């Protein structure tokens, strides 16, 4: 049994929102075969509410998912030299009985230095994931769970179309390194609004994002664009998400070479 499972279940957290999120998390896990018996799942914990929501939900009893264990992993990016957020997260994880590992790095600072002025987000993400993969190998984890939700998947589709000239997005389940490791996204069916709402309901600690480009990134531009379009079409997020499951290849050009 995982740490604190029964305590979480009996502390009055079975609200309607909790049960709703659990239903869609378990459906995503089952639809994509994300978790198998005796898996060891590394949960990437950034310190934001999204990752704390995922960690919390995975640490509660499952109805249809076999037994597995979790290891919370936080990679500090080095923006906060006083490590206030790092210390707060350490207190939270320890106080709630999680198995966890935390590391201090200078990845964020390096990615925003003169060494890499063009695309700090790409390098930052790449180096952070590289370290997470290494920790997974060191600790025997065969699955890595990220807290990307449905809105992240929608936004990534548009980012790749607008800037990378390709139609692709985050996969709910992705095999890497020849199947030795799998990336899973159990919140793939859950909208950002409900994730944030649950984070507030549970009173998770608020940890400020000190990344200097977080408010002006391509993702933020796309997020704001979708919010603007949603004013005229309330179904736009759902329509984009569902469209990814209804791709008509016969009605797409085979070569996008037109000038």
pLDDT band with cut points at 50, 70 and 90 for residue 14: confident
What is the mean pLDDT of the segment spanning 95-124? Answer: 79
What is the mean pLDDT of the segment spanning 126-155? Answer: 96
Does residue 73 form part of some domain?
Answer: yes
Q: Evaluate the CA torsion angle 70, 20, 228, 249 in order and state its sign.
A: positive
Region for 217 from its dihedrals, namely left if φ exceeds 0, alpha if ψ lies in -120 to 50, beta otherwise: beta
Quickly list DSSP for 6-29.
HHHHHTT---HHHHHHHHHHHHHH
Does residue 103 form part of some domain?
Answer: yes
Does residue 9 form part of some domain?
Answer: yes
Query: Are 211 and 79 within 8 A, CB to CB?
Result: yes
Longest dimension (CA), the chain: 62
More confident residue, 137 or 108: 137
pLDDT at site 205: 84
Report pTM: 0.89
Return d(Cα 159, Cα 201) in angstroms, integer.
31
Does residue 258 form part of some domain?
Answer: no
Number of folded domains that form the chain:
1
Q: Which of 97-111, 132-146, 198-212 has the highest mean pLDDT?
A: 132-146
Does residue 257 form part of some domain?
Answer: no
Does residue 25 form part of some domain?
Answer: yes
pLDDT at site 8: 40
Pick from 4-8, 21-25, 244-248: least confident: 4-8
Range of the domain at 79: 5-248
Does residue 148 form part of some domain?
Answer: yes
CATH code, 117 = 3.40.50.620
Query: Are 56 and 156 within 8 A, CB to CB?
Result: no
pLDDT at site 221: 93
């Amino acid at each position: 049994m995982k740490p604190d499972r029964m305590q979480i279940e009996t502390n009055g957290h079975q609200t309607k929102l909790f049960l709703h999120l659990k239903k869609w998390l378990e459906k995503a896990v089952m639809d994509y075969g994300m978790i198998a018996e005796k898996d060891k799942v590394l949960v990437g914990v950034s310190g934001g509410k999204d990752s704390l929501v995922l960690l919390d939900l995975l640490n509660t009893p499952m109805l249809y998912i076999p037994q597995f264990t979790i290891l919370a992993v936080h990679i500090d990016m080095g923006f906060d030299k006083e490590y206030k957020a790092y210390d707060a997260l350490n207190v939270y994880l320890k106080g709630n009985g999680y198995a966890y590992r935390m590391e201090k790095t200078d990845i964020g600072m390096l990615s925003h230095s003169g060494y890499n002025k063009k695309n700090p987000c790409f390098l930052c993400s790449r180096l952070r994931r590289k370290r997470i993969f290494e920790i997974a190998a060191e600790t025997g984890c065969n699955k890595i769970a990220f807290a990307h939700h449905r809105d992240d998947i929608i936004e990534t589709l548009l980012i790749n179309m607008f800037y990378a000239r390709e139609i692709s997005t985050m996969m709910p389940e992705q095999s890497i390194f020849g199947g030795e490791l799998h990336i899973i996204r159990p919140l793939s069916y859950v909208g950002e609004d409900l994730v944030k709402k649950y984070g507030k309901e549970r009173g998770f600690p608020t940890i400020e994002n000190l990344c200097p480009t977080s408010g002006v990134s391509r993702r933020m531009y796309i997020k704001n664009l979708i919010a603007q379009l949603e004013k005229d079409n309330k179904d736009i997020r759902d329509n984009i998400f569902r469209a990814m499951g209804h791709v008509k290849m016969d009605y797409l050009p085979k070569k996008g070479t037109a000038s």
